[in-house]
Structure 1
Amino acid sequence: MVLTKDLVNTFRGNAPSLGLVATTFGDDARDNWLDIQITELAAFSGCKDKLTDHQIQSLIDIVAEEYHYLKVTEIMYFFRKFKAGEYGKFYGAVDPLTITCALKEFCDDRRAILSRLHKEENDRRRRNDPEYIRWLRQYSAYERMASFYSVNFRSKDFTLDDFREVWWLFNLGYERKNHGYIEP
């Protein structure tokens, strides 16, 4: 369960997908691993009526075929969240259809999580990008200049373009002397 607490490692880590497990170790290894996960969920549920061997095998086949792209850590995360009550509930009997419907819902959540993680990574990368930092500084200086102009120099004769030409004087600190200008 420690593997699934960190969302970045769970969803963006190097864990193999179900398809890769089947290709590398064979279908039996993948099926045995899924069997353990499903059986553990059934035991955890405390339901009186458990899954039959045929239901378990059918569920394994469906998960292996439909969700082969999911990483094993993502499957573990799904089962952990299912046990936490976030993806369905059993009513008296362990129902394979409840599990497959919950997996479908999980995949929708997975897309949102991956999108959020991708955006966070891009934001983090962009914050360290020298071009972006330079752009932020220029934008900040422009905002300061435009704000200063709008407060002190609203005139038809003295436009913002005219003010840009003398802004370098204000950048040198001349606006800090007592000229009656208001700093926004």
Structure 2
Amino acid sequence: MRIILASASPRRVELLNQVGIRVEVIPAHIDETIYEHENARDAILRLAHAKNQVVFDQYPESCVISADTMVLLEGIPYNKPLDEADAFRMLKDLSGKTHQVMTACVIQSPSFKEEILSITHVSMIELSDEDIYRYIATSEPMDKAGAYAIQGQAGWMIEKIEGDFYTVVGLPLSQCVKILRKNHWLDLQKTT
């Protein structure tokens, strides 16, 4: 039996590998449009479920893990930046404020299906335009929700977090491990 990660995120693979969970990566290709009048919670759960189902339908004997992460400031979603100007705008907006990072995760096997919704509050220090331009020049923000990587070069920008650090990275790790252990998927894989 195998565990499949329905995501191309190298950060999610790395997190699972850090705790001894080896996954096969099979990204789910879905329409990630957020519908008009759809709230963030519903949207992120819908996307995580859709990603999971697309891959699980192809590999119904496997355990599939999917996730989606969204950054919210005053209820407005900040996804991955479209370009450097968009990254600048996002970081300028987040600068000196507290925002939410929401990660939804769905884990499904032939015998169970469970979802996780984890929310962490992140406070960012006040950033100068020069700080933002220097960070953007590293290219790190370009494939990150909210245009920053808390576990990377943007770590110094974070004043405090309230909640699960790994939710901000993109996978509520301890909750995922609990579900896998409870349903005996870690025992089956003999991770050590």
Q: Same fold (TM over 0.5)?
A: no
Question: Greater strand percent: which structure?
Answer: 2
If each structure's helix is expressed as a fraction of its own residues, which one has the higher value?
1
Give me the TM-score of the superposition, normalised by structure 1: 0.29
